[in-house]
Amino acid sequence: MSREQRGPNEKLGTVLALAGISNAGLARRVNDLGAQRGLTLRYDKTSVARWVSKGMVPQGAAPHLIAAAIGQKLGRPVPLHEIGLADADPAPEVGLAFPRDVGQAVRSATELYRLDLAGRRAGSGGIWQSLAGSFAVSAYATPASRWLITPADSSVAREVNPAEGSGAPLKVGHSDVQKLREAAEDARRWDSKYGGGDWRSSMVPECLRVEAAPLLLGSYSDEVGRALFGASAELTRLAGWMAFDTGQQEAAQRYYIQALRLARAAADVPLGGYVLASMSLQATYRGFGDEGVDLAQAALERNRGLATARTMSFFRLVEARAHARAGDAQAAGAALKAAESWLERSRDGDNDPSWLGFYSYDRFAADAAECYRDLKAPRQVRRFTEQALSKPTEEFVRSHGLRLVVSAVAELESGNLDAACEQGVRAVEVAGRISSARTTEYVKDLLHRLEPYGDEPRVVELRERARPLLMMAPA
């Protein structure tokens, strides 16, 4: 299964020794990572011995799976050159860079955009499933630190020499940027109402590839360029959020990193903070509460004195979510109190960014309920969930479904099985109307919690109602 033989790969052998991984252990880890991506791999200790002693290079996604497996053990990303496999297909590393140079940043983002809707790079056969660098929260460390140190590029003006491309270079104006902003606004509505996996939401990566990429590669003044980078950052963050909502964590991570870099080029510190908040929510959702706290606090630190009160409230709310997942009740409570205080200070006339239009007291209450769910405080969960559900809206359907599940969990933990099943049925009905793997996961978690009551007629009914939803969900 190896395509090339060279001399011994001493680099791979050295890193394996450093990580304390045996040949059999690496083979098992690579096979397991491949299985998570739908790949059937049968490597064994002999395969690894060939990679190390004979320098054989495995085919397909395997080099990147090797790097990911070792990276998980070391607790940091492992680039291919560190393990002597730098000549493998570089596609899986697309989107993970956070270049210092703005020109390189454009190339990094547009390279990511060239992956089509099915996950295939234009002109090749690579797919998202073979992007084997599995989600690694440590990959956010460099982007966050570089953004904190330098949150804005000095100049982003770009002049394309006609000789560099075919025909006259594209001259970008404010009207081009406005089209991207309108696309972002539409996409936000689609995502909230139909879920990240709906076909309307899936048009965002296509918009980035067809519309945003040519503009970023065109000619523009510093003023227009800042606006262009801001609009592109919004769309890129949305692509990441939709990937996150559909369970494509690796894709989401790449979009988020590029969105943060574009926000830096836009000199839009609040938008950069919003991207960091999105990274924080992903890290928290994946179980990395401490790292989620760091990312949320990075968003807060740079925005002191810059962002509106409503924006600061949201950042503190995201911080509270991470503290709660990390099990720090005192810190979570303090962050929630600060978030509520900032929200009370906000006014309708404030110059809030358009991307924050979803955030209101209802959303604050919904996330507060999730904080207390993680902290196992059902009474508080019920109190905040009642507030969150007091104004159901067709505009934020997915959010309403998530709140119903959280409410059901709170009722169950309070000993109210009937109420839990009733809320669960309502949640399943909402989940069936949208395309959101995250919502389905919430329903699965509820059903898992109900397993001790499996013979109860109400639980059986809920499970039957949820069956079609779970059958459509990816394994």
Q: What is the dihedral of CA 290, 293, 298, 303, to 10 degrees?
A: 180
Tokens (6 digits) for 398: 């997915």
Residue 2 has pLDDT above 80, yes or no: no
Residue 158, pLDDT above cutoff 90: yes
pLDDT of residue 118: 38
What ranges do the domains of the chain cover? 2-93, 95-128+137-159+170-267, 284-359, 363-475
pLDDT of residue 464: 93
- Cα(237)–Cα(271) distance, rounded to whole angstroms? 10
Residue pair 34/82 in contact by the 8 Å Cβ criterion: no
User: What's residue 48's pLDDT?
Assistant: 93
- Structure confidence at residue 125 (pLDDT): 36
**What is the chain's mean pLDDT, rounded?**
87
Name which of 103-107, 121-125, 358-362 the model is least confident about.
121-125
Q: Is the pLDDT of residue 427 over 80?
A: yes
- CA gap 431, 437 in Å, rounded: 9
Percent of the chain surpassing pLDDT 70? 87
Average pLDDT over residues 242-267: 93
Q: Which residues pair with 158 in a beta bridge?
A: 220
Q: What's residue 123's pLDDT?
A: 38
200-209 tens-digit pLDDT = 556 888 899 9
Confidence band, pLDDT 50/70/90 cuts, at residue 456: very high
Task: For CA atoms 58, 61, 67, 69, give the dihedral sign.
Answer: negative
Q: What is the pTM of this model?
A: 0.79
pLDDT band at 92 (very low <50, low <70, confident <90, very high): low
Calpha distance 141→129 (Å, rounded): 24
297: left (phi over 0), alpha (psi -120 to 50) or beta: alpha
Residue 201's pLDDT is 55
Residue 88: predicted pLDDT: 60
Higher local confidence (pLDDT), 80 or 386: 386
Task: Find, among 303, 315, 311, the residue nearest to 346 by Cα.
Answer: 311
Q: State yes or no: pLDDT of 300 exceeds 90.
A: yes
Domain 363-475 has CATH 1.25.40: yes
Q: What is the per-residue pLDDT for 273?
A: 98
Would you say domain 2-93 falls under CATH 1.10.260? yes
Close Cβ partners of 52 (under 8 Å, ≥ 6 residues apart): 8, 9, 12, 13, 16, 23
Diameter of the chain measured on Cα atoms:
73
Angle between helical axes of 378-388 and 397-413 (0-180°, round to 10): 150
Question: What is the per-residue pLDDT for 133?
Answer: 47
Torsion angle of the four alpha carbons 213, 247, 127, 197, in this order, in degrees rounded to the nearest 10: -60
Phi then psi dihedrals of residue 271, to 5 deg: -65, -40
Task: Please say whether the dihedral angle defined by the alpha carbons of residues 15, 17, 23 and 25, taken in this order, is positive or negative.
Answer: negative
pLDDT at 56: 86
429 vs 414: CA distance, rounded Å? 23
Q: Is the pLDDT of residue 128 over 50?
A: no
Separation of alpha carbons 432 and 389, rounded Å: 19
Q: What is the pLDDT of residues 27-71, one digit of tens each?
A: 999 888 877 655 678 899 999 999 999 888 887 678 878 988 898
Q: Do domains 2-93 and 363-475 have the same CATH topology?
A: no
pLDDT digits (tens, 9 = 90+) for 25-37: 999 998 888 776 5
Long-range contacts of 9-16 (CB under 8 A, 24+ apart): 9/51, 9/52, 9/55, 9/83, 9/84, 9/85, 10/84, 11/82, 11/83, 11/84, 12/51, 12/52, 12/66, 12/83, 12/84, 12/85, 13/52, 13/53, 15/70, 15/78, 15/82, 15/83, 16/52, 16/70
87 versus 226: the higher-pLDDT residue is 226
Q: Which residue has the higher pLDDT, 170 or 165?
A: 170
pLDDT given at position 7? 79
What pLDDT is recorded for position 251?
Answer: 87
| Lowest-pLDDT range of 46-50, 243-247, 316-320 | 243-247
236, 121 contact by CB (below 8 A): no
Residue 263 has pLDDT above 70, yes or no: yes
